[in-house]
């Protein structure tokens, strides 16, 4: 019996969703504070800060398909993906703390190198967990609606985690005394909580899974080739990944820019917490609603509607250029409602794509799909932070070390506002155009789930 026939219990849904405490924390805190930490505490220039984060993420993108291959090999050899997940969960907090443990007084160049090495190790540990974690819904979910349910509740927990880390992280930083001690305290507490969430989720990886003897688990040198092959043969995978990557770029840009918006546009450090409450509160309530909508009109249509709603909200935020103020929380809340759908629906569609591919081409490729997906997601989020640093550099943003008082030009403040509004809107509109090439519908998925492996299913290439 394969894993796709296992019963999807409430306990499995809950434990799988708990992993989003860790994934949400890791996605939120570095995305929110790492660029700001580099430019406004360590004195690293904007472009150099972007180069540090981008270089670390490029490594992450390169390693993800290899980890996907290793995950598939582990499944074939030992009947479970759990081992890599546990290793990643245990290693991550050590390197996460190190990322925010730069000693005071270190020159900016040395500080940048420290953060690069530590963050690269942290991202690698996270990928050891994340790649197999992404592959699990195709194995533990029994069908179209079960996968929607599994990923809907994951996004509910993800939204709570983003709120907790997004609001609580800066609060811990501020309670830690000086800026260096504050970031270290934040990194220590967050690292432990992230690890706990990842370890709980690793228990959902099935044991004793029987993989067909002809399942393709490529060698290391073929891992990239297998990922490219998955992209080439599945048009729907290309469309879904392309849309998700562009949206990751948009949300990564906004996440990295939120601290700058609070400090330099709204001129209120506390506004960062309120921005996150306004965004994530509606997202927590919205995720189950998007699940209901998806069951009625299809995931792909619901995803497009959520994306369009997010783009509208971003366009409304352009008003920050002329009148920054408390009104900003209303469009941010609208974006939060949309964000819930933009997260839960594509992640629920990915296992559908994997199921169709398994029906057509044989089982054993979920890890490859998960590796390519994680690489794409990582690329989007990383380049979002990079794009922000480019905007900051072009508009003349001035970096500073802890304790210095800096003044920003009107051009720099305008750049921050546009990076939080117009640019994300354009990226999301582009993602909707890409998503129009997604061809799978409910009937295709249900046919693939019912078909013997390697037989039937919709032709998606």
pTM above 0.85, yes or no: no
The string of pLDDT tens digits covering residues 357-373 is 877 776 656 667 777 77
Q: Considering only residues 405 and 408, tell me which one the structure prediction assigns the higher pLDDT.
A: 408
Q: How far apart are CA 212 and CA 223, in angstroms?
A: 19
Q: Is the distance from CB of 447 to CB of 458 less than 8 angstroms?
A: yes
DSSP reduced 3-state for 345? helix
- Give the mean pLDDT of 218-227: 63
Residue 147 has pLDDT above 70, yes or no: no
User: Between the CA atoms of 256, 258, 261 and 267, what dihedral angle is there, to the nearest 10 degrees?
Assistant: -130
User: Between the CA atoms of 311, 324, 396 and 247, what dihedral angle is there, to the nearest 10 degrees?
Assistant: -20
Q: Considering only residues 221 and 397, tell me which one the structure prediction assigns the higher pLDDT.
A: 397
Q: How far apart are CA 405 and CA 383, in angstroms?
A: 29
**With bands split at pLDDT 50, 70 and 90, how would you rate the model's confidence at 401?**
low
Q: Considering only residues 163 and 240, tell me which one the structure prediction assigns the higher pLDDT.
A: 240
- Give the mean pLDDT of 36-55: 86
Residue 4 has pLDDT above 60, yes or no: no
Residue 129 has pLDDT above 60, yes or no: yes
DSSP string of 107-157? -HHHHHHHHHHHHHHHHHHHHHHHHHHHHTHHHH--SHHHHHHHHHHHHHH
Closest CA to 369 of 217, 206, 231: 231
Residue 422 gets which letter from DSSP? H
- Give the mean pLDDT of 344-355: 84
- The CATH homologous superfamily for domain 3-209+218-450 is MFS general substrate transporter like domains (1.20.1250.20)
Mean pLDDT rounded to a whole number for the chain: 82
Q: How far apart are CA 262 and CA 292, in angstroms?
A: 35
Q: How far apart are CA 145 and CA 92, in angstroms?
A: 33
Q: What is the CA radius of gyration of the chain?
A: 21
What is the per-residue pLDDT for 405? 58
Residue 172 has pLDDT above 90, yes or no: no
Based on DSSP, count helices (H) and strands (E) in the chain, helices before strands.
Answer: 17, 0
pLDDT cut 90: percent of the chain above it = 28
The CB-side HSE value for 246 (13 A sphere, CA atoms) comes to 21
Angle at CA 223, nearest 5°, toward 94 and 242? 85
The domain limits of the chain are: 3-209+218-450
**With bands split at pLDDT 50, 70 and 90, how would you rate the model's confidence at 223?**
low
């Amino acid at each position: 019996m394969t894993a796709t026939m296992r019963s999807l219990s409430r306990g499995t849904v809950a434990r799988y969703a708990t992993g989003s405490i860790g994934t949400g924390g890791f996605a939120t805190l570095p995305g929110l504070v790492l660029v700001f930490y580099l430019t406004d505490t360590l004195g690293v220039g904007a472009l150099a800060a972007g180069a540090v984060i981008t270089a670390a993420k490029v490594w992450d993108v390169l390693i993800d398909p290899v980890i996907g291959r290793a995950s598939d090999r582990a499944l074939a050899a030992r009947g479970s993906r759990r081992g890599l997940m546990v290793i990643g969960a245990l290693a991550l907090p050590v390197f996460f703390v190190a990322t925010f443990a730069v000693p005071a007084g270190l020159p900016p160049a040395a500080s940048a190198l420290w953060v690069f090495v530590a963050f690269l190790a942290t991202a690698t540990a996270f990928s050891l967990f994340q790649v197999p974690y992404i592959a699990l819904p195709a194995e533990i979910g029994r069908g179209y609606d079960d996968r929607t349910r599994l990923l809907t509740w994951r996004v509910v927990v993800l939204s709570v985690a983003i709120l907790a880390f997004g609001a609580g992280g800066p609060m811990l930083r501020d309670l830690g005394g000086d800026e260096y001690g504050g970031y270290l305290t934040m990194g220590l507490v967050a690292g432990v909580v992230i690890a706990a969430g990842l370890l709980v989720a690793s228990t959902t990886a099935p044991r004793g899974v029987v993989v067909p003897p002809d399942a393709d688990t490529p060698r290391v040198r073929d891992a990239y080739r297998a990922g490219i092959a998955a992209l080439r043969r599945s048009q729907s995978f290309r469309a879904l990944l392309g849309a998700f990557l562009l949206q990751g770029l948009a949300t990564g840009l906004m996440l990295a820019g939120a601290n700058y918006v609070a400090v330099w546009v709204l001129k209120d450090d506390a506004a960062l917490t309120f921005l996150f409450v306004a965004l994530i509160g509606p997202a927590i309530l919205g995720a189950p609603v998007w699940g209901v909508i998806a069951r009625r009109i299809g995931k792909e249509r619901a995803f497009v509607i959520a994306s369009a709603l997010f783009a509208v909200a971003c366009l409304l935020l352009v008003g920050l250029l002329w009148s920054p103020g408390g009104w900003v929380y209303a469009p941010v809340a609208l974006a939060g409602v949309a964000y819930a759908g933009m997260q839960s629906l594509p992640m629920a569609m990915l296992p559908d794509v994997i199921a169709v591919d398994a029906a057509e081409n044989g089982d054993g490729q979920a890890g490859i799909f998960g590796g390519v997906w994680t690489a794409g997601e990582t690329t989007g989020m990383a380049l979002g932070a990079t794009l922000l640093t480019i905007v900051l550099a072009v508009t003349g943003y001035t970096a500073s070390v802890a304790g210095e008082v800096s003044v920003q030009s009107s051009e720099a403040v305008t750049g921050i506002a546009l990076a939080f509004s117009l640019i994300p809107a354009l990226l999301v509109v582009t993602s909707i155009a890409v998503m129009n090439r997604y061809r799978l519908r409910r009937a295709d998925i249900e046919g693939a789930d019912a078909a013997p492996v390697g037989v039937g299913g919709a032709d998606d290439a």
